[in-house]
Amino acid sequence: MEDWPALLNGVAADPLTNTILRLAVVRALFETGRLPEEQFSWLHRPGPELLSTSDLKQHVGSAHVAETLLQLGHLNAAERLAFDSLEMEGETPPVLRTLARLHVVKGLPDAAGIFLNRLQAYPEHCPWAVRLRAGLATNSPATADPTIARIRANLITRDEIAMGLTTERLLRQALESNPENRMAFQFLMAHQLLERRLLYALRTLATSPQTREGPLPRHYAEALLLHRHLYPGISLDALLPRVPPAVVASFQGFMEMMNRATGSREQVQPQAWRDFGNTYWYYYSFGALHQPSRLPSPGNS
Amino acid sequence: MIGPKPPQPHARTQKRRPDIEGARSSRRIWLACGCLLLAGVRSVASPAVQPDPLSGRASPPGVRETAPPSEAPRLPRIAPDYLEVVIPPNLAPLNLAIQEPGIEYQLRVSGSRGQPLELRQSHPHVRFPLREWKELLGTNRGGTLRWHIAVRNPAGEWIPYAPFESRVAQEEIDRYILYRRLRPLFSYYKHLGIYQRNLETFEEKPVLRNDTFEHGCVNCHTFLQGAPDRFAISFRARSGTPTLLIDSNRISRIDTKMGYLSWHPNGKLLAFSANTITQFFHLAGPANRDIYDARADLNVFHVDDRTVEKPAAIAVPDRSENWPCWAADGRHLYYSSAPTVAFRDERSFRYDLLRIPYDPDQNRWGEPETLFSGAEHRLSAHQPRVSPDGHYLVFTVTDSGSFPVFRSNSELFLLRLDTRELEPLPINSNQADTWHCWSSNGRWLVFGSKRLDGVFTRLLITHVDPAARFSKPLLLPQEDPTYYDTCLDNFNVPELVRGPVQISEEELARAVNTPGNTTGPTGRESSAPDRAPDRSTISDNPYP
């Protein structure tokens, strides 16, 4: 299994301007159950779309996008990207691992075996390969690799010609196939919040069966309050009662700071960063101005 | 619709363990009887071999043999599966891996004539010495080989397995095969090439790799009746999309794009398709990618005066003609043809199989004749290849579309040209079976198949007897019997040739990189004036 906490530790000081690192952080936060609470503790300014490969130089990192697509249920898109990575980046453990998983899910264990044979040449990946091979031998690969069960549950079911696949469309298709696809839901929310598509994000939130009750996660609540402030005419009655009081209080503080501010937005930014740097409000209002190397860490983290 | 392909009789034998077991249960009785004959086989074991668990001789103290008298020994699990195959008498050794746990392995291959081959070793990967293998095949040409395997288990017991047989054909296969070697490609390619393999040994050499011309695309390679010094190769390079003609090892570069090619036996004509290929992808479902190639035409290149002709008969407006193949006597051109459809209707695209008479002396075409109706069968027919004796036509069939290797339901069909009887070949598998090629004597067919794993195209060899009965396919052997277990390359577009291509890779690359003659559809009748002047544009890789 991938060591997601270690990945987060490893990139803690990184400004996260790299496409693949941004995706890796979102994935790690999701896998550790922290994405709706901590996304904007890590990502402070806009960047390339989450699942975009257009910014990759020489396809470096496309294996990671392929693996994410696979986990989302996009078997075919993952296959394309993984084989593109194999051809352009060359053989790497991540792409071999993705191709092995992918062919297990496709019901092609002999093909999976070829990629596992290659992977076994890498000592640090050998144990995983051996485990998955043993799982294949006993017809229980999902025991050896629990993500296989998730992929199977998430598989895209409706075929169409794959053209113009944006991040938004990929994630919506995944949710259409399986509305309970937790990864697709959280990634779609993360994507729409990053793209500052508040209306879309709140529609996703309101229509998802995954958040029907209980307190809203912090960033979703932050987005909800910001939306109500910006578009007071649009009713959000069903969701508002689920905003945690602490978020309501914090938003009042944010608005007071913004109302007190008399200078330009640039002048307000340092204080906003210090007091609200980990919130969606900061990202939404100041993300475009954010210079990661110039500012100390926010104070309310 | 042919739909998902059911397992075929021979296809099962290409799978590993369970298939070997299941496919042969009915033969256990006679195989067990065969085992009883072991004692009569003369052993010429190497000095290291003692005792002989295959001979029935007494075991030394401490070594027990287990062959329960009440239970017939089962067949051994081996890979590749060489049980009951027909072997070309000039083929390289069938090295194999014995997939039985053990600490010592013994294998003996014997024929009715000559010395048996016998190996005893501590590991399960068997590699036969080339000289002795050739001798064994040579002396047993037209006869039968019997394979005996025994494995010593960790408890020290020798387990003899049921013997199996294979047949050595009388007729040789062409000495060399050329193929395109590349990884499964989707949107990008970087490394690919055409290689030649000596079928009598394991030697493989590049004919032309694309890194010799800035990672362009090397496409079709077509030989004049298996002659290694007369062939054509088409490219997509930075310097254009040329075709190289090699005649008596002299290269000329033709700046005309050519898709699928076929030499007329007189060597003066080259039929080729002019394709506009678009690759597209599916969001879900087993078929990830496909090709839209519904606007092709056939052209003829006249070698002597370097002109391209677009005969009206094979470049019909509103029809797409593709996959040309000349008959060995040059009197007919076989090809695929379908009504042109828009992209949105590509699922209904189905090729007919046609042939058209041709008089090479008059350069005159007759009336096309439909041999197989795609609409009637609800199948699409591709890649016609006529046997050298002109009696048989093998072609690839899919439920629709224009590019069979991307479809797992691709099958090989046989059309008997004398009786017009049509049949799917018994050698088909439940994965794509495509890209077939006859040997120059017509007794062998090599084809590409994804049957081993569903992803990678490997080459298989089948013997064809005079009545067009196809033997169980034999996986192209490699020196390392586990070679394919880690191989990430496809082997496709196999072309058998009688000897090695002599021209060097450097010379071919130099020709690709040097602009040459510009040849267009001029000087001869071009019967489709409503078409764009350059119909030979290949916008994408014809062999993705």
Contact (CB, 8 A) for A181 and A156: no
Distance from A75 to chain B by nearest Cα, in Å? Answer: 7
Distance from A119 to chain B by nearest Cα, in Å? Answer: 10
Residues of B in contact with A83 (CB under 8 A): 183-186
Residues of A in contact with B80 (CB under 8 A): none
Structure pTM?
0.88
For A117, the closest of B187, B280, B485 (CB atoms) is B485
For B280, the closest of A157, A161, A177 (CB atoms) is A161
For residues A150 and A8, state if they share a domain: yes
Closest CA in chain B for residue A169: B283
For residues A131 and A223, state if they share a domain: no
Copy the structure tokens of residue B366. 């007759």
Q: Is A12 on the interface with B (CB under 8 A)?
A: no
pLDDT in the model for residue B316: 94
pLDDT in the model for residue A220: 97
Radius of gyration for chain B, computed over Cα atoms and rounded to the nearest angstrom: 25
Distance from A250 to chain B by nearest Cα, in Å? Answer: 43
For residues A16 and A140, state if they share a domain: yes
Copy the structure tokens of residue B119. 């190996």
Distance from A25 to chain B by nearest Cα, in Å? Answer: 26
Domain stops at, among A137, A154, A171: A154
Q: Is A238 on the interface with B (CB under 8 A)?
A: no
Domains present along chain B, CATH in parentheses: 9-168 (2.60.40.10), 176-513 (2.120.10.30)
- Does residue A252 sit within a domain? yes
Closest CA in chain A for residue B281: A162
- Does residue A57 sit within a domain? yes
For residues A296 and A230, state if they share a domain: yes
Q: Do B455 and A103 touch (CB under 8 A)?
A: yes
Q: Which amino acid is at A89?
A: E
pLDDT for B334 beyond 60: yes
Burial class of residue A17, CB neighbours in 10 A (0-12, 13-18, 19+): exposed
Residues of B in contact with A155 (CB under 8 A): 284
pLDDT in the model for residue A17: 82
pLDDT for A187 beyond 70: yes
The fraction of chain A above a pLDDT of 70, given in percent, is 96
- Does residue A239 sit within a domain? yes
Confidence of residue B148 (pLDDT cuts 50, 70, 90): very high
Q: Is B344 on the interface with A (CB under 8 A)?
A: no
- Give residue-wise pLDDT tens across range A87-132: 999 999 999 999 999 999 999 999 999 999 999 999 999 999 999 9
For residues A237 and A300, state if they share a domain: yes
Q: Is B454 on the interface with A (CB under 8 A)?
A: yes
Q: Is B30 on the interface with A (CB under 8 A)?
A: no
- Give residue-wise pLDDT tens across range A17-70: 888 999 999 999 999 999 999 999 999 999 999 998 887 777 788 999 999 999
Does a cis peptide bond (omega within 30 degrees of 0) precede residue B51?
A: yes
B503-521 burial by CB neighbour count: b if 16+ within 10 A, else e?
Answer: bebebbbebbbeebeebeb
Distance from A225 to chain B by nearest Cα, in Å? Answer: 37
Distance from B450 to chain A by nearest Cα, in Å? Answer: 10
Q: Do A161 and B286 touch (CB under 8 A)?
A: no
Q: Do A114 and B485 touch (CB under 8 A)?
A: yes
Contact (CB, 8 A) for B261 and B245: no
pLDDT in the model for residue B32: 31
Give the Cα separation of B402 and B489 in Å (integer): 23
Q: Is A163 on the interface with B (CB under 8 A)?
A: yes
- Does residue A135 sit within a domain? yes
Q: What three-state secondary structure class fits A190?
A: helix
For residues A209 and A110, state if they share a domain: no
Residues of B in contact with A87 (CB under 8 A): 183, 185, 188-191
Distance from B304 to chain A by nearest Cα, in Å? Answer: 40
For residues A36 and A130, state if they share a domain: yes
What is the DSSP code string of B34-88?
A: HHHGGGGSPP---TT--S-TTTTPPPPTT--B---TTSPPPPPPEES--TT-EE-
- Does residue A278 sit within a domain? yes
For residues A119 and A62, state if they share a domain: yes
pLDDT top residue among B51 and B510:
B510
For residues A135 and A15, state if they share a domain: yes
Q: Do A84 and B187 touch (CB under 8 A)?
A: yes
- Give residue-wise pLDDT tens across range B15-50: 333 233 333 333 332 233 333 223 333 333 333 334
CA distances from B449 to B35, B295, B476 (A): 33, 27, 11
The domain that holds A139 is classified in CATH as 1.25.40
Distance from A210 to chain B by nearest Cα, in Å? Answer: 24
Confidence of residue B526 (pLDDT cuts 50, 70, 90): very low
pLDDT in the model for residue A293: 59
Closest CA in chain B for residue A80: B186
Residues of B in contact with A177 (CB under 8 A): 284
DSSP percent split of chain A into helix, strand, coil, nearest 5: 65, 0, 35
Please identify which residue in the block is written with the tokens 């191709």: A99
Distance from A233 to chain B by nearest Cα, in Å? Answer: 38
Please identify which residue in the block is written with the tokens 């040209």: B417
Domain limits for position A273: 203-301
- Give residue-wise pLDDT tens across range A255-294: 999 998 877 888 889 999 999 999 999 999 999 888 765 4
Q: Is A60 on the interface with B (CB under 8 A)?
A: no
The CA-based angle A98-A102-A107, given to 5 degrees, is: 155
Radius of gyration for chain A, computed over Cα atoms and rounded to the nearest angstrom: 21
Q: Is A84 on the interface with B (CB under 8 A)?
A: yes
Distance from A106 to chain B by nearest Cα, in Å? Answer: 8
Confidence of residue A12 (pLDDT cuts 50, 70, 90): confident
- Does residue A100 sit within a domain? yes
Tell me, what's the ipTM? 0.92
CA torsion angle B108 B112 B114 B115 (round to 10): 20
Q: Do B283 and A155 touch (CB under 8 A)?
A: no
Confidence of residue B259 (pLDDT cuts 50, 70, 90): very high
Q: Is A297 on the interface with B (CB under 8 A)?
A: no
Burial class of residue B104, CB neighbours in 10 A (0-12, 13-18, 19+): middle
Closest CA in chain B for residue A121: B486
Please identify which residue in the block is written with the tokens 């941004």: A22
For residues A145 and A228, state if they share a domain: no
pLDDT in the model for residue B17: 30
Residues of A in contact with B282 (CB under 8 A): 76, 159-162
For residues A207 and A137, state if they share a domain: no
The residue-averaged pLDDT of B478-491 equals 98
pLDDT in the model for residue A295: 54
Question: Which of these, B531, B414, B527, lies nearest to B468 by C-alpha position?
Answer: B414
* φ and ψ of B104, to 5 deg: -155, 145
Domain stops at, among A154, A172, A190: A154
The residue-averaged pLDDT of A193-212 equals 93
Q: Is B4 on the interface with A (CB under 8 A)?
A: no
Q: Is A122 on the interface with B (CB under 8 A)?
A: no
pLDDT in the model for residue A234: 82
Total domains in chain A come to 2
- Give residue-wise pLDDT tens across range A148-186: 999 999 999 999 998 888 999 999 999 999 999 999 999
pLDDT for B331 beyond 70: yes
Best to test chain A binding among B449, B455, B458, B487 (most A CBs inside 10 Å): B455
pLDDT in the model for residue B459: 98
Contact (CB, 8 A) for B234 and B243: yes
Confidence of residue B236 (pLDDT cuts 50, 70, 90): confident
- How many CB pairs (< 8 A) connect A and B? 92
Give the Cα separation of B312 and B315 in Å (integer): 5
- Does residue A67 sit within a domain? yes
For B288, the closest of A80, A87, A108 (CB atoms) is A80
For residues A9 and A125, state if they share a domain: yes
- Does residue A187 sit within a domain? no
Residues of A in contact with B189 (CB under 8 A): 87
The fraction of chain A above a pLDDT of 90, given in percent, is 76
